Amino acid sequence: MTRPFTPKVVTANLLREGDVVYLTASDEWVGDLSLAEVLTDEADAAIRLIDGSRQTDRVVGAYLADVRQGSGGPEPVHFREAFRATGPTNYAHGKRV
């Protein structure tokens, strides 16, 4: 028996800045998970992942991340994705000479 498909979003990192981004239904990369396209069909998810992965001039490391529907839109299911969604954990320390 196969496991049911769980909703997913396409996520990646911006090539230049390294920021976490999510693919929208209009093929835009945004930093806000609540704006991401939620994929509920396995075949559609595979196609959207290919679409996102082809944008090598903008992003790297595209993959599908599990989400659940929350009151404000999609929410991460796993700790790793929740951690990534909160943004960078570093801060500017100034230039070392």
Residue ranges per domain, the chain?
A: 8-85
Q: Which of 28-32, 48-52, 58-62, 92-96 has the lowest mean pLDDT?
A: 92-96
SS3 track for the chain: CCCCCCCEEEEEEECCCCCEEEECCCCCEECCHHHCCCECCHHHHHHHHHHHHCCCCCEEEEEEEEEEEECCEEEECCHHHHHHHCCCCCCCCCCCC
The whole model's pTM is what? 0.84
Q: How confident is the model at residue 40 (pLDDT cuts 50, 70, 90)?
A: very high
pLDDT at 8 over 80: yes
Residue 13: CB atoms within 10 Å: 16
Q: How confident is the model at residue 3 (pLDDT cuts 50, 70, 90)?
A: confident
